Amino acid sequence: MTTAQTLLSTVFGFDEFRPGQAEIVDAVAKGANTLAIMPTGGGKSLCFQLPALMRDGVTVVISPLIALMRDQVRALKEAGVSAGALTSGNTEEETEEVFAALDAGHMKLLYMAPERLANSGTHNMLRRIGVSLIAVDEAHCVSAWGHDFRPDYLRIGELRHMLDVPLAAFTATADQETRSEIIARLFDGSTPETFLHGFDRPNIHLKFEAKNGPRKQILAFAQEHRGQAGIVYCASRAKTETLAKALRDAGHNALHYHGGMEADDRRFVEAKFQSEDGLIVAATVAFGMGVDKPDIRWVAHADLPKSIESYYQEIGRAGRDGGPAETLTLYGADDIRLRRVQIDESLAPLERREADHGRLNALLGLSEALRCRRQMLLSYFGETTEPCGHCDLCENPVEIFDGTTAVRKALSAILRTGEYFGAGHLIDILLGAETDKVREKGHDTLPTFGVGKEYSKREWQAVFRQMMGHDLIRPDPERFGALRMTEAARPILRDEATIDLRKDTIQQAKQNRRPAI
C-alpha cells in the first residue's frame, strides 16, 4: 500500500503534513470514526482526500458549499484523481460523467450536497457503488442552535447506519455544545476519535482594555501602527463613519465599510484595502468575508464582539502571512448590556438564547482574564497550552484582590431594591449619595445605604462591570436594563464562594478622569 507520506508529495505536492494532519489521516484511513476540529485554512480537506485514496471504494463527501465542492473536484482531477460532484449546479453532461465514472468503478471521491440525501434514489445509488467512507465537511451544520443549521444534515446519521461505514466529520466550530450535538447526531452518541488542532496563532498579540475614552484609545493604537494596514471593528454603522473620519483627521488613510452601503462602494473599499498599503478600514462585521489580505498588521475592536468565536475569527484576519500582528479589544459595561439585550430580544428559541449568552460569557471572561489570555482563549477551544509570553497579561501580570465583600455589597444593594435599578442608582446607594431619586424611593433608609464608601464611584463602576463579566448580574430587558442577580452569584451571596477581581481595572479607573464604563 502506498503510504500517506508518499501520496502527500506525489498527488498533493506538499512536502510535509501540517500540525495535526498526519494523525487525522491515519485514523481516518484505518477506518475509525473521527471528529476533527481545525480552524479555517488549517487544511481539513486533505484529511479526508488523502485517506480516500488509501481506502478501497468510494468516499462520499457531504458539503453544503457548492462552489467549494466544485473547486475541490477540479483540483483533484488536475492531480489525476477521479472525483465528481452531484449538486444542483451541475450541467446534465457533468452528472452523466459522474455516473459513468461510478459505473466504471474508478471514482474515488463523490461530493454531494446534503439536499441529495432527501432523495430515496440517492440512497439506492450509494448502496450500489461501494461506499467505504463518509466524510462530512462543515459538520456543525447539524447543530440546530448553530448559525448554519442545515436540516438535511440530520439525514447523515441514517445514511451511516444504512451503509455501515466509518464516518469522518470536520468542522472549525469548537465549542463543547456544538461538539456534543455533532457526536449525538452523526455518531449516534458513540464517541469518535477526536482531534483538535491548530487554533493557536502565535504571531498575533492579544490585548484588551476597558473603555476609557474609546476614541482616544483607538487613535493611540492606530498611531502605533501608522502606515500599516488595519481593521477597526465597530458595533454600529454610524460609528464606522465617525471613527473613519476621526482617523482621517489624525492623518491616517482611512475609509468606512458597512452592510448598508451600496454594493459598488463596498467593492471599492474592499479592492482598495486589498491593493493598497497602509489603509485602515473602520467596519462592521460585514467586512471580512471577502477580505483575504495576508499582511493585515493590526485589528482593533472599538466595541466588544458578540461572542468568543466572533472575536477569534475577527482578530484572525490579522497576520495571515505569519508576520507579527497586534490586536486591541475594547470593552465596557455598555457593550455588555447591548450584547445581552440583543440576545434577549432576538426571536431565537430559549435554548439558543441561553447558548448565545454562554458564548458571550466566555468572551467577557476573556476580557476580565486574570492570567495568560491566549491560554484562556485556547482552553475555550479545547487546547491546553503553557502561558504564551506574548499577550498583555503575560507581559504585564495583573494584581488580583479578593472582591467578595465588594461583590456582596453590590448584590445586596440590587436585592434590597427589588432588582429594579441600574448601576448608577445602585452605586449612589452604596456611596450614601443623597440624590433626589434616592430620597424619593426611600433608599436612604436601606441598611445598604452608604456601606460602600471605601471605593469611589469609578471604582464601583469597575466592580459592576467585572460582575457583569463574570455573569453574576445581568440587565433585564423587560425592566429597561435594570440589573438582576444570576444563579451564579448565589454561592457568593451565601458565603459559600469567594471571587477574585482585577485590581488594575479598578486602579485604572481611579487614575483617569473619564468614567471607566
> Can you tell me which of 37, 247, 372, 423 binds Zn ion, judged by CB under 5 A?
372
**In the complex, what is the shortest distance from the CB of residue 318 to Zn ion, in angstroms, rounded to a whole number?**
17
Report yes or no: 190 and 169 within 8 Å, Cβ to Cβ: no
Nearer to Zn ion, 387 or 422 (CB): 387
Nearer to Zn ion, 24 or 206 (CB): 206
Binding partner selected for residue 359 from Zn ion, ligand ADP, none, CB under the kind-specific 5 to 8 Å limit:
none
**In the complex, what is the shortest distance from the CB of residue 42 to ligand ADP, in angstroms, rounded to a whole number?**
4
Based on the number of CB atoms within 10 Å of its own CB, is 102 exposed (0-12), middle (13-18) or buried (19 or more)? buried
**In the complex, what is the shortest distance from the CB of residue 13 to ligand ADP, in angstroms, rounded to a whole number?**
9
Closest CA to 500 of 457, 458, 478, 469: 469
Stretch that binds Zn ion, among 28-36, 176-184, 371-379, 441-449 (CB under 5 A): 371-379
Binding partner selected for residue 69 from Zn ion, ligand ADP, none, CB under the kind-specific 5 to 8 Å limit:
none
Alpha-carbon separation of residue 348 from 310, 341, 356, 431 (angstroms): 18, 13, 10, 39
> Can you tell me which of 44, 256, 258, 339 binds ligand ADP, judged by CB under 6 A?
44
Task: For residues 435 and 418, give the distance between their C-alpha atoms in angstroms, rounded to a whole number.
Answer: 19
Residue with cell 475541490: 72
**Contact status: 43 vs ligand ADP (CB under 6 A):** yes
**Exposed e or buried b per residue across 139-163, where buried means at least 16 C-beta atoms within 10 angstroms of its C-beta:** bbbbbebbeeebebbbbbbebbeeb
With a CB cutoff of 8 Å and minimum separation 6, the contacts of 290 are 270
**Contact status: 45 vs ligand ADP (CB under 6 A):** yes
Nearer to Zn ion, 219 or 394 (CB): 394
Nearer to ligand ADP, 40 or 384 (CB): 40
Task: For residues 174 and 150, give the distance between their C-alpha atoms in angstroms, rounded to a whole number.
Answer: 18
Report yes or no: 211 and 331 within 8 Å, Cβ to Cβ: yes
**In the complex, what is the shortest distance from the CB of residue 347 to ligand ADP, in angstroms, rounded to a whole number?**
31
> Taking the CB of residue 414, how many other CB atoms lie within 10 A of it?
26
Nearer to Zn ion, 377 or 423 (CB): 377
Stretch that binds ligand ADP, among 37-45, 160-168, 259-267, 354-362 (CB under 6 A): 37-45
Nearer to ligand ADP, 44 or 205 (CB): 44
Residue with cell 463602576: 461
Report yes or no: 186 and 142 within 8 Å, Cβ to Cβ: yes
Binding partner selected for residue 391 from ligand ADP, Zn ion, none, CB under the kind-specific 5 to 8 Å limit:
Zn ion
For residue 512, the SS3 value is coil
DSSP string, 219-236: HHHHHHTTTS-EEEE-SS
> Can you tell me which of 388, 406, 414, 463 binds Zn ion, judged by CB under 5 A?
388
Binding partner selected for residue 394 from ligand ADP, Zn ion, none, CB under the kind-specific 5 to 8 Å limit:
Zn ion
**Contact status: 381 vs ligand ADP (CB under 6 A):** no
Nearer to ligand ADP, 4 or 308 (CB): 4
Q: Which residues bind Zn ion (CB under 5 A)?
A: 372, 374, 388, 391, 394
Q: Which residues bind ligand ADP (CB under 6 A)?
A: 14, 17-18, 21, 38, 40-46
